Amino acid sequence: MLATAEKVLNLSKSDQTEVHCVRGRSFLTRFANSEIHQNTAERDMTITVRCVIRKRVGVASTNRTDEVSLEEVISRAIAFAERQPENHSFVSLPGPGQYREAATFFRETDEFTPEDRADAVNVIIKKARKAGLVASGSFSTASYEVATVNSLGVRASGKTSLASLVTVIMGDGGSGYADRLSRNVADIDVEAAGDEAVNRCLLSRGAKAIEPGEYDVILDTYAVADMIGMLSYMGFGALAFQEGRSFMTGNLGKQITGENITIWDDGLSEPGLATRFDYEGVPKSRVDLITGGVARGVVYDSYTAGIEGRESTGHAVSPSFAVGPYATNLFMESGTSSLGEMIDSMGRGIFVTRFHYTNPVHPVKTIFTGMTRDGTFLIENGKIARPLKNLRFTQGILEALSRVELISRERRLHDMMGGGAYVPRIKVKGFNFTGVTEY
């Protein structure tokens, strides 16, 4: 891969050039109604070129690897760069860095077969059937070779793999959920995921509605990962920060949540999704985002770092996403409570397994909305009293994080908008539920 990337780099005559190559195989086995209904495989290689001519940047990509296509992709990027006015905010592509080793690739994931995925899915289907329930979900495995090189000496390359299992179990008006995420498919505990989702579904049958309003909540790790991921989308990146669209703008050094909240991004820390370098080939750095409730920093790519005269933190994503740098390896500090202690401590409140279809309502105020899903329960006098029909919430995230009373010892890793979030459960005083649905 590195050789291919360097070959393309040598074709460019622009002032600065970056070549990003990714070659991969990905598979996804999807099941519903307790049978496999979609089952896919993909093999692709994409080459993306960024050419810079006097502060003018053009980007072009292709998935054809013949000589003509490689020369043509360079020509397109150069032509785009030449035909625009200078962008004086652009300083430079990044220079070379030192890469730390990390466990990003596992042979077990690379060699996992369609038959292996089908057998794993059958484990969950059988558990659901045994309980009189219906299974759905997906099991995906993928492996990629990635290389980013540039004319300033960046030479980043390596292999990554990823395995993800998601299941929703439904029946008798109830539903339960579980997911597992790892670079190594051997670490995906299919039995445990199946048991978790089946048990949650059985508990959630016979749900009754509750009046919307403000309730104390315990958010399971799935809901916390969704919420922290939404916070990252709303404003942990330097582009939103610099444009004044982030809740972090003007607040660095200020208390923005409770003192018990600490959130950081780290591409190299276990058990997150280990990532050695970003899209531009810049080594991943740990970035403290919120420490003890105080806003500490945001993540940078080379463009936003150049604007402030600082170094990239290694958080560039594909320019196609047009979102600027993105924190995708999130960690939230654990607390000291067990789940049992959290439930015991609650007089009356709601346990939320996960959120569904969350979306920002006002990013600077960090207000978001969404539904609860796959297991929502009323807690009374320290015990789970009964399952609840799903509720809509409309809530400020920073406001919720200012009222966290308990944080669990246990943390779990979940998918978070393309990355991973390793988060605990939290108990929040006063969460604003604004509607209810019919099931």
Tell me whether residue 201 or residue 406 sits nearer to other proteins (CB atom): 201
Give dist(CA 115, CA 121) in Å, integer: 10
CA 266 to chain centre: 13
Tell me whether residue 318 or residue 345 sits nearer to other proteins (CB atom): 318
CB of 431 to other proteins, least distance (A): 11
CB of 140 to other proteins, least distance (A): 7
CB of 35 to other proteins, least distance (A): 5
CB of 167 to other proteins, least distance (A): 6
Give dist(CA 225, CA 235) in Å, integer: 16
Tell me whether residue 281 or residue 319 sits nearer to other proteins (CB atom): 319
Give dist(CA 119, CA 299) in Å, integer: 41
Residue reference for tokens 């409309």: 394
CB of 56 to other proteins, least distance (A): 7
Tell me whether residue 296 or residue 356 sits nearer to other proteins (CB atom): 356
Tell me whether residue 161 or residue 285 sits nearer to other proteins (CB atom): 161
CB of 408 to other proteins, least distance (A): 25
Tell me whether residue 10 or residue 38 sits nearer to other proteins (CB atom): 38
Q: Residue 111: name the closest of 39, 193, 184 by CA.
A: 184
Residue type, position 216, single letter: D
CB of 422 to other proteins, least distance (A): 22
CB of 341 to other proteins, least distance (A): 29
Give dist(CA 188, CA 120) in Å, integer: 10
Tell me whether residue 129 or residue 155 sits nearer to other proteins (CB atom): 129
Tell me whether residue 30 or residue 205 sits nearer to other proteins (CB atom): 30
